[in-house]
Chains A and B, each alone.
Chain A
Amino acid sequence: MTKLLTAHFDEPKLHELETYRRLGGYEGLKKALAMGREALMAEMGKSNLRGLGGAGFGAAMKWSTVPPESKNPGPRYVVANCDESEPGCFKDRVLVTRNPHQLIEGLLIAAFAIDAYRAFIFIRGEYEVQYKILEKALDEARAAGLIGACSIDLMRGAGAYISGLDTALLETMEGKKAWPRQPPPFPTAAGLMGRPTVVNNVETLCMAPHIVLHGGDWFVKLGTPKSGGTVLFSVSGHVADPGVYEFPMGTPLKDILTAAGGVRGGKKLKAVIPGGVSTPVMTSDELDTPMDFEGPRAKGTFLGAGGVIVLDETVDMVMVAHNIERFLSHESCGQCTPCRQGSFWHERILERALSGGGTAEDLVALERAGENITGQVICALGDTVGVVTRALMKKFPEDFKSRFPERRG
């Protein structure tokens, strides 16, 4: 099975420039610079590389919407989004820890593609070790003259989940409160400091050198027609071997679980959250789902950022809902009312139910509130407040019925 990003993960000193170059590192950048901007964009276009931070927006499409220098003169920026905060996702952490130069190379290719001379890596504050690794790798790359005329700055987040959303991340970088902007304009038209900015997930950028080296046609064939290449899954929860696994796009969910050693302790599988806590849950009957951007969508959920959380038969889904809603309520940026108030309301109702005070009427309130929040918020993260609990209620009604019994008088 072809692995791209994790191919050399068994090399002990992969994070050092010397090892990385020995294994063909920075050849993609060299080739990209040699082939020129147009040819590079053509290869990227053919690759069908999708944004792997969760949105799945075509990477080449995003790059190509940056207006050319002639139409919008002045600086433009590339930002690597390494504010990985979604519970269940830890692939970016692994990518940066093990192979920081892969990210730097990808970032430089993206910068070249949109004619940017300033690039940033925005890394969440809690990733302190990764920050140091990146700092060192950047020093190495600079000393080796690889970064060239471009400059790459590292910025650290202050610990807000919402900063992982592109527009909130840009606000944070500008020193403001991490409140998402409401497009239009999209960041590629007016992003950081009002200038055209491409914000890409770490994993997305890491793919770029491989596409350049092997060609877009080769890349797209690795995956499914609409989602090219491979994708990383952060598998956690009740599995024997949790960790990061790289698979071609479209691999069935059950293969991913098998690779992670299956449900641990001989227990039965109850549910899988496919892409991090903000994606709706899947049942054990849905394991045939091909994991690309289209497969989970047909089941009413999302590939997200590939944070596969495995839950065995011992799990109470009301507790899951409470856990997630408490997280969302704690991390809601508070800008728009439905998310700010709705998540807190969800949390309080579920908390009361867990301490034995739930009634069937609460389910009606949850259902109605959830329905009204979804689609009525500024950013995608706000939508999840209403979606997640409703999916759990729909797919595991028995768990909810026992916590929210009919009461009389």
Chain B
Amino acid sequence: MAKTIKFSLDGRHLSALEGETVLEAAERSGVRIPHYCWHKALGNPGNCRMCVVEVEGTTKLQVSCRLLAREGLVIRSVTSAARRAQASALELHLLDHPLDCPVCDQSGECGLQDYYMDIGRYPSAMREDKAHAGKSIPLGPHIMLDQERCIMCTRCTRFTSQVSKSHELGIFGRGHSQVVDVVPGRTLDNPYSGNLADVCPVGALTDRDFRFQVRVWYLDETESVCPGCSRGCAIFAHTSTRRPWHNKGRRLARLKPRYDSDVNGHWMCDAGRYGFADFDSDRLGKVMRLKPAAAELSWEAAQREVAAALRRKSAEGLAVVASGALSNEDWKAFKSLFVDTLKASRFLFSPEPDQVGVEDELLRRREKVPNLEGGKTLGFGTQIQSMSWDGLAKDIGAGKVWGLYVVDRDPVKVWGEKGRKLLERLDLLVYQGPCKGLSGDLAHYRLPAAAWLEEEGHFINFQGHVQGYRQALKPLGAAKPDWEIFAGMEKDARV
């Protein structure tokens, strides 16, 4: 166990771990000292000079991001001398800043605005023309650069050199004419580039996806978990429902990483961040019987009809396709319905080949679904083995499978056009999911499920961490969480 060091900050008694700086210890204890360049994961170059504090016994003010906490240190960050130095550093940061807050996406969550209100509020003494530099420079697919707004904290260049290790960004030129820019001949397109909009404390690096879509103060924030892979990064979902005409009518405005030391640290990947941009497109909202006589059904009627249809022939010939996209709650109801009640024996939930992708050392995992582990705790993958798509196709082709229940997966996408013919041979195809996909129109029954942001639930990531996610949006139309659909059906299936 590391030794703890006791020191005082503005009269409060804080404790630091050995080797921790005053600023780190303060942040950990929830005490705010102004800062730009320091970032817990990116180091402390000490170039912004915002975190200056007074140390009892010394005359010179010191930057707390480089001041190691020592036993008995008495530190003051709110004295007039410290505040004057902080305000002066802020004044110099803002000297050539364009003050284009009305058209800046960072507005409302900007370090310059926040500290001006906290410690600034000085009248401007700047009478010269402001220096100009490049504006709205697209650096890559996701990030837009405004060099005039940059305060040279170097968080972005440290991110590309230390975290993404892709080295696209550099600081070019010298002194007041230096700028952040992308290295000649390259574009900023690493798999983690979206994090740059987060690490930038001002509006110099903004998200192209989010640009001019909605002002941040109209957003609602919900704690969630990214369903993009088995890492399950802790995230915030920022939703826009109060001004429905903003953000091109889309309810999900953006996803942001939420700090979790055990899972994702400060980051998330671009695939997760931007992969859900079309969250509201291709969505299902009606409970439908499509064949033989097409009609919109009530949930009660649909559950009754589907339950009866599932029992019409032998359980031997009933196959169920699901995936690690199910939450723990879904898995439980799923097992109860299909394993315990209907005694189905053919299951397909392996992520191969449609739910696997690129893996790397930082965050991304090969399995592009969040909760295979949740299924495993109930025996899916241990007692109950997953069949392959090829095996399923063979069984349907050979007439061994008469009924197929598909939960949020797309056989046509996996099998291609021959998949349509296979699905048409089935006596019963039930399709359940938030989106229609390519297979939704081929089903006898099509049941709308709530998407992950529209329900509460839990995922277990590949490390075994159980993580809860909260409901951010209302389900569309008649959509219900998967577990509710399974549970509703089970009553009728049990007879």
State how many angstroms separate the Cβ of A70 from the closest Cβ of chain B: 25
> Which stretch, A244-252, A269-277, A345-353, touches the partner chain B?
A345-353
State how many angstroms separate the Cβ of A325 from the closest Cβ of chain B: 12
Interface centre among B89, B92, B178 (most CB of A within 10 A): B92
Q: Is the CB of A182 within 8 A of B66?
A: yes
Q: Given A335-B47, A352-B128, A375-B61, are A342 and B174 also a contact pair (CB < 8 Å)?
A: no
Q: Is the CB of A333 within 8 A of B174?
A: yes
**Could you tell me which residues of chain A, from 305 to 357, have a CB within 8 Å of some CB in chain B?**
329-338, 340-345, 348-349, 352
Number of chain A interface residues as a range = 20 to 34
Q: Given A331-B175, A376-B61, A376-B85, are A337 and B48 also a contact pair (CB < 8 Å)?
A: yes
Q: Is the CB of B176 within 8 A of A336?
A: no
- The 0/1 profile, CB within 8 Å of A marked 1, for residues 38-53 of chain B is 0000000111110010
Judge if B99 is at the interface, Cβ distance under 8 Å.
no
Residues from chain A with Cβ under 8 Å of B92 in the complex: 337-338, 341-342, 345, 369, 372-373
- The 0/1 profile, CB within 8 Å of B marked 1, for residues 372-393 of chain A is 1101111000000000000000
Judge if A202 is at the interface, Cβ distance under 8 Å.
no
Residues from chain B with Cβ under 8 Å of A332 in the complex: 174-176
- The 0/1 profile, CB within 8 Å of A marked 1, for residues 176-189 of chain B is 10100000000000
Q: Is the CB of A182 within 8 A of B128?
A: no
Judge if A160 is at the interface, Cβ distance under 8 Å.
yes
Residues from chain A with Cβ under 8 Å of B60 in the complex: 375
Q: Is the CB of B175 within 8 A of A343?
A: yes
Q: Is the CB of B175 within 8 A of A344?
A: yes
Q: Is the CB of B171 within 8 A of A177?
A: yes
Q: Given A341-B96, A345-B95, are A377 and B49 also a contact pair (CB < 8 Å)?
A: yes
State how many angstroms separate the Cβ of B148 from the closest Cβ of chain A: 13
Task: State A329–B178 Cα separation when bound (angstroms).
Answer: 12
Residues from chain B with Cβ under 8 Å of A337 in the complex: 47-49, 89, 92-93, 151-152
**Could you tell me which residues of chain A, from 363 to 409, have a CB within 8 Å of some CB in chain B?**
364-365, 368-369, 372-373, 375-378
Number of chain B interface residues as a range = 20 to 34
Q: Indicate which residue in A160, A343, A348, A368 contacts B128 across the interface (CB closer than 8 Å).
A: A348
- The 0/1 profile, CB within 8 Å of B marked 1, for residues 170-189 of chain A is 00000001000010000000
Q: Is the CB of B89 within 8 A of A376?
A: yes
Q: Is the CB of A372 within 8 A of B46?
A: no
Q: Indicate which residue in B66, B84, B152, B175 contacts A330 across the interface (CB closer than 8 Å).
A: B175
- Which residues of A approach B to under 8 Å, CB–CB? 160, 177, 182, 329-338, 340-345, 348-349, 352, 361-362, 364-365, 368-369, 372-373, 375-378
Q: Known A-B contacts: A337-B48, A337-B151, A364-B125. Give 20 more (CB < 8 A).
A: A177-B171, A182-B45, A331-B175, A333-B175, A335-B45, A336-B48, A337-B47, A337-B152, A338-B92, A343-B175, A345-B92, A345-B128, A352-B127, A369-B125, A372-B85, A376-B61, A376-B85, A376-B89, A377-B49, A378-B47
